[in-house]
Amino acid sequence: MAIKQNGDIAAHRLSSEQLSCEFADIAPLLDPTAAAAAASRCHYCYDAPCVQACPTQIDIPSFIRKIGNGNLKGAATDILSANPLGGMCSRVCPTEILCEGACVRNHQDAKPVAIGALQRHATDWAMARDAVQFKRAPDSGRHVAVVGAGPAGLACAHRLAVAGHRVTIYDAHDKGGGLNEYGIAAYKTVDDFAQREVQWLLSVGGIELKTGVQLGHDVSLDTLRQQHDAVFLGVGLAGVRALQLEGEALNGVMNAVDFIEQVRQARDLGTVPVGRRVVVIGGGNTAVDAAAQSRKLGATSVTMVYRRGVESMSATWAERDFAQMQGVTLVTHAKPVRLTGSDGVVTGVEFERTASDGSTERFTLEADMVLKAIGQTLVAIGLDHALLTLDQSRLAVDADLRTSLDNVWAGGDCAASGGIDLTVQAVQDGKLAAASIDAAFALAAVKAA
């Protein structure tokens, strides 16, 4: 959904040179010397807590030791064998609360091993040289449909292809990648990395990607079940929660995910319109990405407002710090009550704050652009309601990610798998579902023998 420009929302606020600087890689590659120094800090712990903290269970001490020994191909193989999207995860994972947060170095010198940077060092080296390729098992004769080319679907497809099964991925977008392509800040994944990773993953063979195919419109679940031996649903959370407030339909009000997609898909960042005074409502990673990119595009002031305290925000402390370093103002314990406007154009957001003594106060932040980032929801088009959880917010799955329908599995953000809504968890869901599908095929073969 493109936002209509008004007098204060405009493109070309910064020069192309300024934008190039603002949207440069925020975590450039380690050089070999820096990588060796970072690797030398690892204690190669037995039963390493960093491994336990990684949803995909990458053998972190092993790959870091290989980097230290100069064996980058071996390091990348360790990573990609556990996480086929290890390159993207090295860029977007909240390592501060996962592997690096669990690093024993935190208790010694308050500085963890740079696991994320080392993972990127190895995977980028391997991808640039096409150094790590997985060999497929002999063709099994089985064919699996994967709905959604996001992290869960891609990981599932890759594992199934390696096991010898044929896979067709169906995705509603023009390109594969899911949120990695459309929903993550541009400064985190520069140089079209998401697409390069998709192409590497598909190069294993046995996988066909069909884009522009939407479940419930272009193809039905019943049809997919009839035409394939199994179906994996990795449809993500495509809906966006509404504020349900007066003024929400005013010109200048936009979903943050749509704004991020505009930035990610823009051929020229200068053409992306942004307001002078931007208010972002929400406290998650989407809110941070939208707020930071608004500033980088040239907004004069950006305020991110969250209804609870920082301890309740889903964005990590590192994400919050980054946003504030970009000049984003953070306001907490304030909930929006209405959006104000003039001549159909938003002019501000009125908030209510409860003081420690229980009294309430109202204040208004002036805004010519408001970005809503209060959560995403499952779009159940094409899905039987029997597949949903009781509150209909996710797809119900068991421990093996099976749904209530025969030969249908689900994973990633759309599934109630008990994990966290992160790229790395979606990858793990895809892996687990692929293992379950493969085991089901093996059991069926035994019964048929």
Residues 397-411 pLDDT 10s: 999 999 999 999 999
Q: Quote the tokens at residue 224.
A: 């997919």
Task: Say what the pLDDT of residue 7 is.
Answer: 56
Residue 52 has pLDDT above 90, yes or no: yes
pLDDT score recorded for residue 27: 87
pLDDT of 119 reads 98
CATH code of domain 32-129: 1.10.1060.10
Q: Do domains 32-129 and 143-238+378-448 have the same CATH topology?
A: no
pLDDT tens digits, 227-253: 999 999 999 999 999 999 999 999 999
Q: Which two tokens stand for residue 202?
A: 């598909």
Mean pLDDT confidence for 360-382: 95
* Closest by CA position to 34, among listed 79, 63, 67: 67
Does pLDDT of 440 surpass 70? yes
CA gap 102, 115 in Å, rounded: 11
CA pair distance 267, 12, nearest whole angstrom: 13
What is the pLDDT at residue 209?
98
Quick one: fold of 143-238+378-448?
FAD/NAD(P)-binding domain (3.50.50)
3-12, 217-226, 357-366, 438-447, range with the lowest pLDDT:
3-12
Query: In the CATH scheme, what is the homologous superfamily, with its name and number, of domain 240-375?
Result: FAD/NAD(P)-binding domain (3.50.50.60)
Task: Quickly tell me which residue has 């934008």 as its tokens.
Answer: 19
CB 309 within 8 A of CB 340: no
Determine phi and psi for 79, rounding to 5 degrees. Answer: -65, -55
The answer on pLDDT for 3 being more than 60 is no
Instruction: Say what the pTM is.
Output: 0.94
Q: What is the pLDDT of residue 399?
A: 96
Phi, psi dihedrals of residue 413, rounded to the nearest 5°:
-60, -30
* pLDDT above 60 (res 6): no
pLDDT over 80 (residue 355): no
Q: Could you tell me the residue ranges of all domains in the chain?
A: 32-129, 143-238+378-448, 240-375
